[in-house]
């Protein structure tokens, strides 16, 4: 039976100004290609996330936390996808998935939210060019050979794309991937079934990179 992969939806605005919820097509395509069923997870207090006033975002109530946890329980694995801002529902999804050992993959902003959820801190990147859109390969990443990520890739150095302007600078999760200019590029807890965050966009590399296909195949396998 194909596993159900819950994708944490992102609040966005359509070109005509309507409020929308977003799944990035490359994420759902990667799931489908490797035998999963993508399913959007709607934030339970979604009306709070369309204001430009950050102070308007309210914390989840106990009822909303229960609703979110029930949606996560329904899924076999979770993807916290990229975006512009992370919210309280991202942090709750991450910490709850960790608690119940639900396989979770964090991508770009999703990785940053994972880092923050575990006593982490983020900063803007100054003087380093990691925002390179539309380029297949941007920079190298050095992978800890004692990590689950190395177990998947079987390579100590890989080359990835890159399109981010912020970075995790500290976290209690294991830091297992670094760029040559000392940007944290991968974090994990190898004691979990699958709990990995990546700063790059593996879903955008599916059409041309064997290793990123290996990553999604491994993730889907662990969700079965």
Q: Give every CB contact of residue 92 below 8 A, 6+ residues apart in sequence.
A: 60, 65, 68, 69
Task: Read off the pLDDT of residues 134-181 as tens digits, 9 standing for 90 and up.
Answer: 999 999 999 999 999 999 999 999 999 999 999 999 999 999 999 999
Residues 215, 216, 217, CA angle at the centre, nearest 5°?
90
91 vs 207: CA distance, rounded Å: 30
**pLDDT value at residue 148:** 98
Phi–psi pair at 84, nearest 5 degrees: -100, -35
Class of domain 4-223: alpha beta
Q: Binning pLDDT at 50, 70 and 90, where does residue 14 land?
A: confident
Cα dihedral across residues 42, 44, 47, 49: positive or negative = negative
Contact by Cβ (8 Å): 89, 8: yes
143 vs 178: CA distance, rounded Å: 7
Would you call 150 exposed, middle or buried from its count of C-beta atoms within 10 A (0-12, 13-18, 19+)? middle
> Residue 170: which H helix or E strand, with range?
strand 166-170
User: Which range is least confidently modeled, 57-61, 62-66, 191-195?
Assistant: 57-61
């Amino acid at each position: 039976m194909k596993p159900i992969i819950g994708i944490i939806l992102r609040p966005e605005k359509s070109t005509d100004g309507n409020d929308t919820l977003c799944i990035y097509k490359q994420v759902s395509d990667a799931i489908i290609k490797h035998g999963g069923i993508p399913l959007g997870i709607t934030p339970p207090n979604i009306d709070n996330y369309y204001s430009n006033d950050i102070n308007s975002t309210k914390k989840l109530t106990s009822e909303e936390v229960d609703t979110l946890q029930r949606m996560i329980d329904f899924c076999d694995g979770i993807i916290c996808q990229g975006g512009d801002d992370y919210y309280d529902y991202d942090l709750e999804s991450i910490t709850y998935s960790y608690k119940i050992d639900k396989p979770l993959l964090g991508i770009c902003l999703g990785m940053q939210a994972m880092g923050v959820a575990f006593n982490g801190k983020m900063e803007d990147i100054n003087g380093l060019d990691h925002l390179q859109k539309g380029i297949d390969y941007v920079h190298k990443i050095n992978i800890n050979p004692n990590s689950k990520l190395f177990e998947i890739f079987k390579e100590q150095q890989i080359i990835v794309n890159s399109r981010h302007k912020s970075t995790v600078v500290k976290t209690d999760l294991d830091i297992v991937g670094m760029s040559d200019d000392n940007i944290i590029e991968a974090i994990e807890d190898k004691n979990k079934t699958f709990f990995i965050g990546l700063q790059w966009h593996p879903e955008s590399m599916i059409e041309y990179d064997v290793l990123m296909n290996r990553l999604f195949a491994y993730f889907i396998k662990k969700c079965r």
